[in-house]
Chains A and B, each alone.
Chain A
Amino acid sequence: MDEQDEQRELARFQSIIDDDGRIEPRDVMPEGYRKTLIRQMAQHAHSEIIGMQPEGNWISRAPSLRRKAILMAKVQDEAGHGLYLYAAAETLGADRGELLDLLHTGRQKYSSIFNYPTLTWADMGAIGWLVDGAAIVNQVPLCRCSYGPYARAMVRVCKEESFHQRQGFEILHTLSHGTEAQHAMAQDAVDRWWWPSLMMFGPRDTGADAAPGGHTEQSMAWGIKRFSNDELRQRFVDMTVPQAEALGLTLPDPDLRWNEQRGSYDFGEIDFAELFEVIKGNGPCNRQRLEHRVRAHQDGAWVREAADAYAAKRAADRTAQGAA
């Protein structure tokens, strides 16, 4: 492609973006757009597979067989989400093995929320309700992301996530209306997961602890990101407060109150110093999560190598048969 063709193709890219259309894998796109998307989809995929651990932690101890089945299916869905998202990243020329390597060596991140421990059964409810709830608020706009394969993967992911969120709500509802000990377990889980859930939307849009760099602005211009962190966080709070009331549980924020003028809930200061510590690797479970992931990958290396060797042998057999 000569320079003139390339300019024409890039102009076509921009007009698709401007018309709110979808970019497809074979379309010409700026290198920055490709890189941004690969990184975002990979980090999203990493979050799904690391997120299997805190919930996987309770599969063996789920308190009824029905709950055990639901939880197993949920963690399995997360593996499925990881698969779609790595596959979506591969449409842009990335390789799953290389992306996993970036995760395993700490060069790519995953959502910091999964660096918190799941200490009681009620955490399965709180994760479903709050963490999946926050993820949905973050992810619904991605169903309209300008990159087609990502947008389509997100449609399916969001459907399953909303199912998970209802399950989480239902776990907490049962606990909240159960015995005194169960109610206390539910309240304790909400106390621990509320603030980390608010941090899932990332740093504030403006002010001293705003996100550094121009990622957000560029991502908005490219139709990858549609709303700012603070807009999404507010949407989550407004959606969640009435649900907490329905659950009969208290959100641990004395400053939380309805603001008639804004038509939204005001809420207290988020401890972003904690968020930055967790991002830096000093959360309660950062090392544990990554070590577990790396160990599973290393322990399974001989299995993957065997599968490759077997496939190569069978391919050679077919070639030999074809030649004969």
Chain B
Amino acid sequence: MSGASAKLSDASRSAAAPSEPDTSALFGYVVALADDALISAQRMGEWIAASPQLEEDVAMGNIALDQLGQARALLTYAGEVEGAGRDEDALAYFRDERDFRNVHLVERDQRSDFGVSMARLLFLSVYQHELYSRLQHSTDETLAAVAAKAVKEVDYHRDHAMMWVLRLGDGTQESHRRMQSGLEAEWPFTEELFDDTHVDAVLVEAGVAVDPGALRDPWHKRVAEVLAQATLALPEVPPAVTGGRRGIHSEQMGYLLAEMQHLARSHPGATW
């Protein structure tokens, strides 16, 4: 997969200046960032009116809104890069499952357990913070601007998740047990965050994209610090076989999209 795309971009590099990588690679990169944010917002939104306390309804609403805002900016940009006239809604509502590029971490059902959600938010927000803090220096002006705004938002998400992981890890016996099992449940899906096979090497070389593999060590260090402080153990669960970046999703993704897209698709061409 990576070999083929590297070869393809080698060819395009000779045709275009290095500062202008081919648009389909850039489109794919931006869509993957957007889809992580969009699908995470969709799941996070499920907590509104169902969280452990009112303050948390507000906080999770904030986080979902931030993620949705990031997704909208990125999808809009992806549509511009593609140049086929698709806007944020065309991309969110009228793409089929195989064309979504988000990781499995964000798409699976989490409703049952706040510990699972906070484990997931910790893993995602630490990753996104490492990502956006680098991407804000992207040579692509739009990505740099989106990342500069997003890095401040995910800093808050990370802080929120860390505070809950501390409270739950070092709270009661039951919360410690449930937080640990939340970590174990989500851990296998973290490796996919660092999968670099979908990111064209030319984009990284040109300083447009961040190499996801480079985020693994700082991510791991930060997560290990938080878990140690929370008296929790770093999970030793092997990574799951996933394929989100290639459009191979979990069974739950179909239901998520069915729910998210059905109304828009029932009225094609309508304005809302």
**Chain A contacts to B: CB under 8 angstroms:** 49, 52-53, 56, 59-69, 72-73, 75-76, 79-80, 82-83, 86, 121, 171, 174-175, 178-179, 181-182, 292, 296-297, 299-311, 313
Contact = CB atoms under 8 A, between A and B. Distances in A.
A304 B168 CA distance: 9
Nearest to B265: A63
B58 A76 contact: yes
B69 A69 contact: yes
5 contacts: A59-B46, A60-B45, A60-B259, A182-B270, A297-B52
A83 B58 contact: yes
A69 B263 contact: no
Given A61-B262, A76-B61, A306-B167, A300 B45 contact: no
A79 B57 contact: yes
B168 A306 contact: yes
A188 B64 CA distance: 31
Contacts of B55: 83
Contact of B49 (A66, A178, A296, A309): A296
Give the secondary structure class of B's interface: helix
A178 B270 CA distance: 7
- Tell me which of A52, A303, A313 has the highest count of chain B C-beta atoms within 10 A of its own C-beta: A303
Given A306-B171, A306-B174, 10 more contacts: A52-B57, A53-B49, A61-B262, A66-B272, A73-B65, A76-B61, A83-B55, A179-B270, A299-B50, A300-B51
B243 to A, nearest CB: 24
Contacts of A62: 263
Given A60-B260, A63-B267, A310-B166, A302 B51 contact: no
Contact of A309 (B89, B114, B172, B270): B172
Contacts of B272: 63-64, 66-67, 121, 171, 174-175, 178
Contacts of B114: 299-300, 303
Interface of B: 38, 42, 45-46, 48-58, 61-62, 64-65, 68-69, 71-72, 75, 88-89, 92-93, 114, 166-168, 170-172, 174-175, 178, 259-260, 262-264, 267, 269-272
A290 to B, nearest CB: 13
A82 B75 CA distance: 34
Given A60-B259, A69-B68, A306-B175, A76 B48 contact: yes
Contacts of A86: 54
A315 B200 CA distance: 51
Given A302-B174, A310-B167, A65 B51 contact: no
Contact of A303 (B64, B175, B259): B175
Nearest to A53: B49
